[in-house]
C-alpha cells in the first residue's frame, strides 16, 4: 500500500497564523514567541496584518517570515468578497502597498514572487464562496480550523471542513492546516496547529514540505500513517474515540470507526466505485480533532 505522507523526515509542530502588538494582537512579538516555544512548538510565523515579520533560526526552534494580507469589504460581501491570505516563508518583502481592493490572485502572485507559500485563512469566517477559489493558482493550503474564529472569540465559524469536500468534489484537492490566529491570548493560544514532516527544522525544509502538502492539521490527535491502494484506505493513529472517512460518495454507511471498550488506533475504509477522493478525521475522547488532506482515490478495475 502507498503512504499518503512522505515520513522520511521528522514531524515538527507549528503555528502559522498569529498576531502581536505589531498589528492587533495583545502580546509583543517576544512574548508571543516565548509562549509558543515554552508550549513545545518547533516553528511558528508571526503574521501581523500587512507587516512582514523577520525570520529566525536557532537550535530546536524556527521562526518563518509571515504576514496576513486581506482584500474585500466586510460591509459589502456581495460586491467585495473577503479573502484573507497568509504568506509564509518569504525570502524578500512582498511588493504590495497596503490596500483592500486587490483581486485575490494579485496577493497570491505577490507572495509567490517573494519566495513564500500562501494559505487561505478561515474561509468559513469570511463566508467565502467555495467555487470562487477554483480558478486561483498558488494556494498551498487553506485553514480547516481557525481557533479565534470560534466562540467566544468571534462568530462561531471556526471550522471550514465542508469547504474541503466541496472543493474536492470539484477536483481541487487542497491540503488543510489549522491555526490559532491569536489576537487576545485569552484561551485561543496553543490549541490548533499543523504537523509537518520535513528532513530538518530549517526555513527551506519546512517551506518545501508545506509547498508539497506534507503535513496535517491537529488539535491533539496524531496520524502515524495513512495507506491506500485500489481497494482500501488504512489509517494508523494515536488512541482516539472515532475515525471518520469523508468522500464524494453521498450515502455511505461505513464511514465511522468508533471506540467500544478500547480506544481506536487504526481503521479501514473500503473504497467505493463512486469515490474520487477521501479525507480522514480523528476525534479523541476530549473532542479534539485532527484532519488529513483530501487525496485522490480510484477503485481497482474502475
Are 142 and 260 found together in one domain?
no
Are 46 and 159 found together in one domain?
yes
pLDDT of residue 260: 80
CATH number at residue 34: 3.20.20.140
Q: Is residue 124 part of a domain?
A: yes
pLDDT of residue 14: 98
Are 92 and 194 found together in one domain?
yes
Q: Is residue 289 part of a domain?
A: yes
Number of domains the chain contains: 2
Q: Is residue 301 part of a domain?
A: no
- Burial tier of 129 (Cβ tally within 10 Å: 0-12, 13-18, 19+): exposed
Cα-based angle 215, 216, 217 (whole degrees, multiple of 5): 135
Are 174 and 203 found together in one domain?
yes
Name the one residue in this structure whose C-alpha cell is 514540505.
209
pLDDT of residue 79: 79
Are 197 and 245 found together in one domain?
no
Are 227 and 208 found together in one domain?
no
Are 151 and 278 found together in one domain?
no
pLDDT of residue 235: 98
Are 231 and 162 found together in one domain?
no
pLDDT of residue 302: 61
pLDDT of residue 167: 98
Q: Is residue 2 part of a domain?
A: no
**Domain interval for residue 279:** 223-296
Distance CA 187, CA 208 (A): 31
CATH number at residue 284: 2.60.40
Q: Is residue 80 part of a domain?
A: yes
Are 43 and 143 found together in one domain?
yes
Distance CA 127, CA 267 (A): 33
Are 13 and 54 found together in one domain?
yes
Are 63 and 179 found together in one domain?
yes
pLDDT of residue 54: 95
**pLDDT tens for the chain, residues 1 to 302:** 899 999 999 999 999 999 999 999 999 999 999 999 999 999 999 999 999 999 999 999 999 999 999 999 878 888 789 999 999 999 999 999 999 999 999 999 999 999 999 999 999 999 999 999 999 999 999 999 999 999 999 988 999 999 999 999 999 999 999 999 999 999 999 999 999 999 999 999 999 999 999 999 999 999 999 999 999 999 999 999 999 999 999 988 888 888 887 899 999 999 999 999 999 999 999 999 999 999 999 988 76
Are 188 and 239 found together in one domain?
no
Amino acid at each position: 500500500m502507498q503512504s499518503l505522507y512522505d515520513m522520511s523526515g521528522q514531524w515538527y509542530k507549528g503555528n502559522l497564523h498569529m498576531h502581536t502588538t505589531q498589528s492587533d494582537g495583545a502580546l509583543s512579538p517576544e512574548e508571543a514567541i516565548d509562549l509558543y516555544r515554552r508550549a513545545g512548538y518547533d516553528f511558528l510565523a508571526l503574521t501581523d496584518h500587512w507587516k512582514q515579520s523577520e525570520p529566525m533560526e536557532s537550535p530546536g526552534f524556527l521562526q518563518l517570515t509571515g504576514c496576513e494580507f486581506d482584500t474585500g469589504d466586510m460591509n459589502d460581501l456581495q460586491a467585495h468578497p473577503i479573502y484573507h491570505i497568509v504568506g509564509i516563508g518569504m525570502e524578500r518583502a512582498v511588493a504590495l502597498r497596503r490596500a483592500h481592493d486587490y483581486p485575490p490572485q494579485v496577493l497570491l502572485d505577490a507572495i509567490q514572487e517573494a519566495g513564500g507559500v500562501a494559505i487561505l485563512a478561515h474561509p468559513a469566517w469570511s463566508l467565502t464562496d467555495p467555487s470562487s477559489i477554483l480558478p486561483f493558482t498558488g494556494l498551498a493550503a487553506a485553514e480547516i480550523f481557525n481557533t479565534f474564529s470560534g466562540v467566544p472569540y468571534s462568530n462561531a465559524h471556526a471550522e471550514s471542513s465542508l469547504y474541503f469536500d466541496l472543493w474536492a468534489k470539484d477536483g481541487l484537492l487542497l491540503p488543510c492546516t489549522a491555526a490559532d490566529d491569536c489576537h487576545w491570548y485569552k484561551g485561543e493560544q496553543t490549541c490548533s496547529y499543523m504537523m509537518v514532516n520535513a528532513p530538518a527544522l530549517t526555513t527551506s525544509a519546512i517551506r518545501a514540505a508545506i509547498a508539497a502538502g506534507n503535513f496535517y492539521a491537529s488539535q491533539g490527535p496524531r496520524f502515524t500513517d495513512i495507506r491506500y491502494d485500489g481497494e482500501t484506505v488504512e489509517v494508523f493513529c494515536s488512541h482516539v474515540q472515532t475515525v471518520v472517512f469523508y468522500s464524494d460518495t453521498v450515502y455511505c454507511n461505513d464511514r465511522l470507526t468508533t471506540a467500544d471498550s478500547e480506544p481506536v488506533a487504526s481503521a479501514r475504509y473500503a473504497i467505493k466505485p463512486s469515490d474520487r477522493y477521501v479525507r480522514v478525521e480523528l476525534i479523541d475522547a476530549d473532542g479534539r480533532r485532527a484532519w488529513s488532506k483530501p487525496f485522490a482515490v480510484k477503485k481497482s478495475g474502475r
